[in-house]
Amino acid sequence: MEINLTNKTAIITGAGQGIGLRMAEMLHASGANIILNDVDDALCKAAAAKIGNRCLGMTGDSSDPFFIEKMVNKAVETFGQLNIAIANAGITLFGKFSTYPVTDFERVMDVNLRGTFYLAQCASNQMIKQSSGGSLLFTSSVTGHQAHENLAAYSMTKAGIEMLAKNLVSEISEHGINVNCIAPGATLTERTLQDPDYTATWTKLTPMNRPGTVDDVASAAVFLVSDQARHITGQSLVIDGGWSAMSPSPY
């Protein structure tokens, strides 16, 4: 199945590396114009340069509503419209529930929940103004479905993101906008590969005998924001090689 996104414009937050960058690359290869965001300026510039033509890097905090509005306006000014918004930026701060720091809690809530909510709000308002429909996609996590030690705050945000997607169905479907989530499980990225045991551990725990790759996750994302998925909305797609069906613990 060939996906054609020619002349469509997508915003992707948290796309300087890993899953977000691979989403941006695949969307671009399918014809989309890209507004690529990351809070790390060096990563953002390098990622945008790697993709090249029709990709604009915007460094900034994706949990800031004013910066989100700036990205949406820039997408319209540069490419004429906004059709796809992917709230991929997220932060994981591990810690025991009983001693979890207030500062860590607030940062996780800001990036994961606040950033997703306001990108969805600002992007969908622009899509409604255009009267041409569109797609929203949120990056959740398998931990929004299954409990995981030391991730109480993070897991709460991911479950909340999925409930946001369901709730928006009642408010934006009439405008031709669909909204879905992807929920990756163990995935090989620059961050997870900092753990030298990560690949071996998750190969043993995953029924498909390997952790996921960024291609596994990004391929699903591109499908969900394409015209082929227009009648799919309010859903969360778990991409974990079967782990959550059995849920063996890594501890």
d(CA 177, CA 229): 11
From the candidates 140, 141, 155, 236, give the one annotated as an active-site residue: 141
Which amino acid, 214?
V
Q: With cut-offs at 50, 70 and 90, classify the pLDDT of residue 137.
A: very high
Q: Which of 63, 118, 155, 158 is catalytic?
A: 158
Identify the pLDDT of residue 246.
Answer: 87
- From the list 124, 154, 155, 226, the catalytic residue is 154
Helix axes 65-79, 115-130, angle to 10 degrees: 30
- Respond yes or no: is residue 158 known to be catalytic: yes
Mean pLDDT of 21-28: 98
Distance CA 154, CA 52 (A): 33
Q: 245 in a domain, yes or no?
A: no
| Element (DSSP H or E) covering residue 201 | helix 198-205
List all residues 6 or more positions away from 200 whose beta carbon is below 8 Å from its beta carbon.
none
Look at residue 166 and tell me if it is in a domain.
Answer: yes
Give me the mean pLDDT over the 50-61 stretch: 97
141 is catalytic: yes
Domain count, the chain: 1
Catalytic residue list contains 173: no
Burial tier of 150 (Cβ tally within 10 Å: 0-12, 13-18, 19+): middle
What is the Cα–Cα distance from 167 to 152, expressed in whole angstroms?
22
Assess if residue 243 is contained within a domain.
no
Q: Are 29 and 221 in contact (CB under 8 A)?
A: no
Summary mean pLDDT of the chain: 96
Give the residue from 99, 118, 119, 116 showing the smallest Cα distance to 108. 116
What is the domain extent for residue 89? 9-237
CATH number of domain containing 83? 3.40.50.720
Q: Are 72 and 123 in contact (CB under 8 A)?
A: yes
